[in-house]
């Protein structure tokens, strides 16, 4: 009979959450705002990059269609 693999002890989510909250609580309001702005900016950049790639692909498709290619 195969030996049952024993699960490794996982750091409880509550502890992780608590330490995460303490890190956030230790930040000043200005720092929290800066972090939020940074996240929003990164997200906007990511979406802009995706949109540009989609647009480029669409335009390339149009050019190919005009040439008679698929």
Asked if residue 17 belongs to a domain, the reply is: no
Q: Which residue range forms the structural domain that includes residue 70? A: 29-70
Token pair, residue 5, equals 């693999």
**SS3 for 2?**
coil
Token pair, residue 65, equals 């269609």
Asked if residue 34 belongs to a domain, the reply is: yes
Q: What is the pTM of this model?
A: 0.44
Rounded CA-CA distance 46/8 in Å is 36
Q: What are 2-19's pLDDT values in tens digits?
A: 666 677 666 666 666 666
Asked if residue 42 belongs to a domain, the reply is: yes
Rounded CA-CA distance 26/35 in Å is 13
- Mean pLDDT for 18-36 is 78
Asked if residue 20 belongs to a domain, the reply is: no
- Mean pLDDT for 44-57 is 87
For the chain, the domain total comes to 1
What pLDDT does residue 68 have? 66
Q: What are 33-50's pLDDT values in tens digits?
A: 898 899 999 999 998 888
Rounded CA-CA distance 44/65 in Å is 31
């Amino acid at each position: 009979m195969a030996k049952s693999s024993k699960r490794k002890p996982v750091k409880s989510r509550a502890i992780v959450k608590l330490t995460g909250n303490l890190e956030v609580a230790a930040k000043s309001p200005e720092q929290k705002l800066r972090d939020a702005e940074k996240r929003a900016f990164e997200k906007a950049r990511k979406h802009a990059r995706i949109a540009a790639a989609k647009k480029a692909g669409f335009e390339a498709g149009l050019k190919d269609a005009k040439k008679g290619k698929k």
